[in-house]
């Protein structure tokens, strides 16, 4: 059940029939695994098997509270294998072990939450306006495509697989090329849970492979009734366009360039720690990274000097060292891309306050390391302030008054997240309501709860994940009129 070179196609473990590809260690550059990716034919097989499994009465007629048992079983297995899953994710993504342990715990919590939500799933009896009873019910879509990025694989995968199964669907999961291993491990867990409960194996597929091949084949497939995508805005736009051709619903969790705002009255210690954590945890490879720092002009120099001093002390090292705060990036190619963006900003006039290069020293030579970097001296419309870098790069900007601040914070195509640091609750409330962002953190940052909806505004996305209504995003709504009077308008 699940040799390293096998993928999960409609419940069967076997080699993909697409091109082979490697996943490499971000720490050493050495190959971790070679996989044969999913071809369009594999996608077709997975979708057909998924459709058959979704229609199987053993699954279709299972009441929601019994579907919940599947999710609880998955959560139990994730908990049992938590340390192995965390270590695998650290090996594949480079992320620090503390972060990957937290991501595994979050994945377990996601399955438990949607199991609990299933116990309370309700339809509604709507007010009737005639001789009939009117009902609104939600039904499974059938086969759902889930396409995920590399930065927090198990958490992103769980965020889609759990509500999609909860909604009574089959799932076809396509992880990112750089990090397929955790999704395959999750596939093994879901497959084991399905077998334990005697449910159809075809409900779960895991199809690694190149986005334009395996990913597009999923989006285009006529048997796929919804795609839930997390990744970059350019890819999201492409998937949205393909979905429009089929009139298929999509949810899109896309990129960000989130403002973090520090007012002069903020708790200085909290703000310093929060700003650093907001940008440099996950080595900045986070859609919600607080990558634009707006500092009130009256504290600009002093706060920034201290931030630079503390950033210089962050512990940089391998992901498997629990003391590490800033681990290698996901891939050498991605690190090099970040370096090019920083170099271009510097050539365009940005000042390097710290970092701006890979660390020195033989212990860093092989890994995809990049120093936590703080830049300033550029206006908000400079490319480094507008483009998502997806690395440990913070750009600082001064502001004077609230209107100026809100205008600058909103002057971006993105609208994913925002951080506000102030002791004045009125200031926090006013700014929180004026900033265009799907999530606002006040005096905290990058905190998550599965019971709270998440998603972006503007080019950061479409739709919301998590929360009790998260399941409904994977269901279709139907209205039923049930006549209570035999007399119809044309009856004799």
The site for ligand NAD (CB under 6 A) is made up of 147-151, 174-177, 211-212, 215-216, 219, 230-232, 235, 238-239, 253-256, 287, 388, 390, 416, 456, 461
Active site annotation includes 354: no
**Which residue out of 253, 388, 459, 465 is catalytically annotated?**
253
- Residue closer to ligand NAD, measured from CB, 256 or 274: 256
Residue 78: exposed, middle, or buried by beta-carbon count in 10 A (0-12, 13-18, 19+)? buried
Using CA atoms, how far residue 239 sits from 33, 66, 98, 173, 433, in Å, is 28, 33, 33, 15, 30
- Residue closer to ligand NAD, measured from CB, 237 or 425: 237
Using CA atoms, how far residue 183 sits from 157, 225, 365, in Å, is 7, 21, 29
Separation between Cα atoms, residue 204 and residue 15, nearest integer Å:
16
Active site annotation includes 287: yes
Residue 58: exposed, middle, or buried by beta-carbon count in 10 A (0-12, 13-18, 19+)? exposed
Q: At its nearest, how many Å lie between ligand NAD and the CB of residue 92?
A: 13
- Closest Cα to residue 23, out of 184, 212, 231? 184
Backbone phi, then psi, for 477, in 5-degree steps?
Answer: -95, 140
- Residue closer to ligand NAD, measured from CB, 228 or 422: 228
- Residue closer to ligand NAD, measured from CB, 259 or 398: 259
* H or E segment to which residue 409 belongs: helix 402-410
**Which residue out of 6, 216, 287, 465 is catalytically annotated?**
287
- Residue closer to ligand NAD, measured from CB, 223 or 255: 255
Q: At its nearest, how many Å lie between ligand NAD and the CB of residue 61?
A: 33
Q: Which residues, other chains included, contact 130 with Cβ-Cβ below 8 Å and sequence gap of 6+?
A: none
Q: At its nearest, how many Å lie between ligand NAD and the CB of residue 438?
A: 8
Using CA atoms, how far residue 452 sits from 62, 107, 113, 255, 466, in Å, is 27, 15, 11, 19, 6
- Residue closer to ligand NAD, measured from CB, 188 or 334: 334
Q: At its nearest, how many Å lie between ligand NAD and the CB of residue 248?
A: 13
Helix, strand, or coil here: 308? Answer: helix
Q: Which residues, other chains included, contact 489 with Cβ-Cβ below 8 Å and sequence gap of 6+?
A: none
Q: At its nearest, how many Å lie between ligand NAD and the CB of residue 406?
A: 22
Q: At its nearest, how many Å lie between ligand NAD and the CB of residue 204?
A: 17
Q: At its nearest, how many Å lie between ligand NAD and the CB of residue 20?
A: 16
Using CA atoms, how far residue 163 sits from 142, 303, 472, in Å, is 13, 43, 8
Instruction: Please check whether residue 440 is in contact with residue 418, taking contact to mean a CB–CB distance below 8 angstroms.
Output: yes
- Residue closer to ligand NAD, measured from CB, 68 or 254: 254
Helix, strand, or coil here: 296? Answer: strand
- Residues belonging to the active site: 253, 287
């Amino acid at each position: 059940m699940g040799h390293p070179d096998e993928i999960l196609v409609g419940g069967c473990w076997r080699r993909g029939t697409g091109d082979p590809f490697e996943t490499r260690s971000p720490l050493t550059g050495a190959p971790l695994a070679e996989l044969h990716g999913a071809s369009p034919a594999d996608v077709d097989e997975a979708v057909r098997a998924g459709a058959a499994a979704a229609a199987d009465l053993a699954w279709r007629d299972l009441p929601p509270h019994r579907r919940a048992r599947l999710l609880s079983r998955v959560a139990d297995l994730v908990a049992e294998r938590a340390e192995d899953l965390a270590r695998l994710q650290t090996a594949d993504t480079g992320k620090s072990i503390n972060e990957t342990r937290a991501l595994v715990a979050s994945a377990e919590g996601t399955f438990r939450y949607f199991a609990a939500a299933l116990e309370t799933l309700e339809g509604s009896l709507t007010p009737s306006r005639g001789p009939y009873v009117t009902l609104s019910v939600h039904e499974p879509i059938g086969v759902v495509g889930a396409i995920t990025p590399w930065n927090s694989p198990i958490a992103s995968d769980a965020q889609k697989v759990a509500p999609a199964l909860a909604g009574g669907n089959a799932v076809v999961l396509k992880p990112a090329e750089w990090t397929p291993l955790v999704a395959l491990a999750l596939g093994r867990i879901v497959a084991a849970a399905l077998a334990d409960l005697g449910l159809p194996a075809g409900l779960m597929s895991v199809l690694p492979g190149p986005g334009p091949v395996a990913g597009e084949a999923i989006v285009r497939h006529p048997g796929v009734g919804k795609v839930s995508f997390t990744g970059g805005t350019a890819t999201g736009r492409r998937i949205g366009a393909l979905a429009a051709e089929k009139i298929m619903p999509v949810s899109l969790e896309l990129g960000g360039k989130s403002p973090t705002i520090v007012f002069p009255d903020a708790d200085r210690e909290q703000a310093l720690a929060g700003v650093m954590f907001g940008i440099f945890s996950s080595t900045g490879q986070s859609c919600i990274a607080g990558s634009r720092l707006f500092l009130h002009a009256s504290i600009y120099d002093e706060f920034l000097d201290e931030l630079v001093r503390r950033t210089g002390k962050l512990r940089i090292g391998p992901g498997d060292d629990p003391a590490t705060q800033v681990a290698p990036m996901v891939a050498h190619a991605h690190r090099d891309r970040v370096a090019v963006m920083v170099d271009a900003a510097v050539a365009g006039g940005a000042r390097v306050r710290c970092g701006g290069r890979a660390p020195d020293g033989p212990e860093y030579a092989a890994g995809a390391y990049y120093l936590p970097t703080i830049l300033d001296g550029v206006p908000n419309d400079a490319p480094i302030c507008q483009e998502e870098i997806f690395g440990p790069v913070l750009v600082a900007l001064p502001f004077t008054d609230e209107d100026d601040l809100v205008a600058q914070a909103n002057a971006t195509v993105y609208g994913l997240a925002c951080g506000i640091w102030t002791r004045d609750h009125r200031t926090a409330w006013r700014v929180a309501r004026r900033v265009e962002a799907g999530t606002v953190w006040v005096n905290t940052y990058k905190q998550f709860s599965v019971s709270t909806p998440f998603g972006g505004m503007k080019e950061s996305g479409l739709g919301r994940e998590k929360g009790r209504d998260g399941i409904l995003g994977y269901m279709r709504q139907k209205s039923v009129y049930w006549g209570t009077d035999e007399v119809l308008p044309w009856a004799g």
